Amino acid sequence: MSLPSSVDPQAIQEVLDGRWAHVRRDARENLDDPDFLPVYGETMQEARERVTRAAGKLAGSCRVGFGFPKEFGGEDDAGGSLTSIEMLAFGDLSVMVKAGVQWGLFGGALQLLGTRRQHDKYLRDVMSFDLPGCFAMTETGHGSDVQQLRTTCTYDPATQCFDLHTPHQAARKDYIGNAAKDGRMAVVFAQLITGGKNQGVHACLVPIRDEQGRPMPGVTIGDDGPKAGLPGVDNGRLSFDHVQVPRDMLLDRYGQVAEDGTYTSSIENETRRFFTMLGTLVRGRVSVGGSASSATKLALDIAVRYGDVRRQFAAPGEDREIVVNDYLVHQRKLLPALATTYALHFAQGELVETMHDVQTRVHVHGEEIDETAQRELESRAAGLKVAQTAHATRTIQMCREACGGAGYLQENRLPHLKADTDVFTTFEGDNTVLLQLVAKGLLTGYRDAFGSLDGWGRVGFIADMVRETVLERTAARALIQRLVDAVPGRDDEVPLLDRGWQLKMFEFREKHALEGAIRRLRKNSTTPGMAPFDMFNDVQDHVLKTAQAHIDRIVLEAFVAGVERTTDPGARQLLDTLCDLYALSTIEADKGWFLEHGRLTAARAKLLTGTVNQLLRELRPHVLTLVDAFAIPADWKKAQILEEEDARQEAMAASDAELRAANGETTPEGTATDLAVAPAQ
């Protein structure tokens, strides 16, 4: 069935806007202050001052309170908070990061790790930006290995205070947002020691500057200085020389220290307690992924619109040059990236809804944490953060190249997007480490079912495990299962556009990779003399492949569920075709693996490439519709390229016509047809 000649982008926008459409609408209508947009050519100091002003304006707009308790002026709406950050990320990403540090990390840690006493004392000032704060977890020497932080927080019953100390330079808190200029208080993560025993990593509130902006006694503050991007964020370094922190400044929701130094916790196991505390802070990771996707949408919007007016090379016998978007090679760049962006949007939407519902049950209604569901939520957040930030890095670079020299000018926004998002792949969790976290979750699920890795050969287990996680017991999952079960046995007889076959291929790759990782781990565990580090290190490549395959599957399934929710017939048909492109281009990118494992024949692999090209031809007329559906206000784009190219092309066409008329020509001569296979840069 061919696609309709036109589709209403608003019908697609309604599906994309989803459950928090009101938050997106409010942002589009009201976030119109110039301070929220990048200023090209400003100094680092100017950028920091502007971004601080913007943070104050955000606080005054009441748009920062979605996730905070209603009794303090918030809305108890974690999903609204995350959606608000996503929308803010269409502007200057320094503003988004500044807001994320203040209200997501600093305020979120106070809210979720602290108690009512601390909320009453500080939360309103955090929300109003009267108390700018920092989130001081990362150390120079232990960025990702949070359990091994070296900063110590030692309790002394005689003084009723903790002694907070940085024992050496590798324990210095580094890259801390808000530290270099604005922060007056920090949530500091350190090893809690009381009664001579280390109770593991905990967090406490530590004043770092006085009212006049001077460092507090024992606190050394440094400036990280110029960075590759995010000039408006005042990243800095913090060190503590035996700083005295009163006992009531410990964020003690999950661990309490009595006056005499006795430690108590509702969670006895130290490792479980640590991961429970970190699990409450999953919002930051979800925000980074969503913000990366916003930046990707903006880059694609600019590149697609430019490609629809930019012309390069005329076909033989034609007067006008060809629109760049009409070249297959250009479509190969933009459309699969656009399809992946849609897929990740739907996956992010599912994640935000799940996180909102889980946190509402626990933090608003007081229900007990479902540890299995919480663990799966953290794994899902980690996996999507990897997918979204890696996709942003690839796609923004591709969009820059697709716009040629114009894409290299700051005035056209793409260099800013590229520089500002580059760090997203390593902050809020390094992507490689997060992939291992995802894989560990899959392996832990296997171990929990069998008590060890010895059950790897049990028939059907991997299939059950892939299909039956807590987060996937939904009506949408039932739809996925029906589609997969309906696929006939022989792959080479099933049309490539059969959705069940596509889902089955993604599922097979994940199951096979997981089985292979388990098999190799089991073999290593029985190898005499093999050290535990070597047992895992030997299969690390396989483990990361497993995690990536898992992420790809849940993203495709989210896209399928998003198509299913679309009620407008034309929008549904267009999204269904875009979903085909996502699925088949993903398989095509890894077709060597599918060939190696017998799921594609050589002939079918060639057919796959031909089918992807056919999908590109079908989607080409709708490429503007697909970016229109992002509904990015024109004023937010801050790209001169979009304002000038139409007029430039009209002027060029008029000039060419005048030149030919002066020469008595009716058609251009000597056209470089051999170059017309690809747009020049």
Taking 70 as the threshold, does the pLDDT of residue 450 lie above it? no
Other beta carbons within 10 Å of 258:
12
Helix (H, G, I), strand (E, B) or coil at 2: coil
Separation of alpha carbons 312 and 325, rounded Å: 10
Please name the residues in contact with 459: beta carbons below 8 A apart, sequence gap of 6 or more: none
Find the helix or strand (DSSP H, E) in which 17 lies.
Answer: helix 9-17
Report yes or no: 325 and 331 within 8 Å, Cβ to Cβ.
yes
Closest Cα to residue 89, out of 343, 421, 427, 347? 421
Radius of gyration of the chain (CA): 27
CA angle 520, 524, 525 (to 5 degrees): 115
> Which pLDDT band, with edges at 50, 70 and 90, does 474 fall under?
low
The maximal CA–CA distance of the chain, rounded, in angstroms, is 99
Taking 50 as the threshold, does the pLDDT of residue 457 lie above it? no
The CA-atom distances, in angstroms, between 364 and each of 22, 77, 126, 144, 356 are 22, 10, 20, 30, 11
User: What's the rounded mean pLDDT across residues 7-12?
Assistant: 97
User: What's the rounded mean pLDDT across residues 263-268?
Assistant: 92
- What pLDDT does 72 receive? 94
Q: Which domains does the chain have, with CATH numbers?
A: 11-131 (1.10.540.10), 283-628 (1.20.140.10)
Other beta carbons within 10 Å of 352:
26
| DSSP structure string for 392-428 | HHHHHHHHHHHTGGGGGSGGGSHHHHHHHHGGGGTTT
pLDDT tens per residue, range 106-134: 999 999 999 999 999 999 999 999 999 99
- What pLDDT does 677 receive? 37
Structure tokens that stand for 351 in this block? 């994640």
- What pLDDT does 464 receive? 47
How distant is the alpha carbon of residue 164 from its chain centre?
Answer: 33
pLDDT tens per residue, range 585-614: 999 999 999 999 999 999 999 999 999 999
Taking 70 as the threshold, does the pLDDT of residue 674 lie above it? no
Please name the residues in contact with 425: beta carbons below 8 A apart, sequence gap of 6 or more: 389, 390, 393, 431
Backbone angles phi, psi at 415, to 5 degrees: -60, -40
The CA-atom distances, in angstroms, between 482 and each of 478, 503, 509, 557 are 6, 11, 19, 12
- Describe the chain by its helix, strand, coil percentages, rounded to 5: 60, 10, 30
Helix (H, G, I), strand (E, B) or coil at 615: helix
pLDDT tens per residue, range 543-599: 999 999 999 999 999 999 999 999 999 999 999 999 999 999 999 999 999 999 999
Structure tokens that stand for 524 in this block? 């290593």
pTM higher than the cut 0.75: yes
Catalytic residues: 428
- What pLDDT does 650 receive? 61
Separation of alpha carbons 165 and 150, rounded Å: 9
- What pLDDT does 319 receive? 72
- What pLDDT does 475 receive? 60
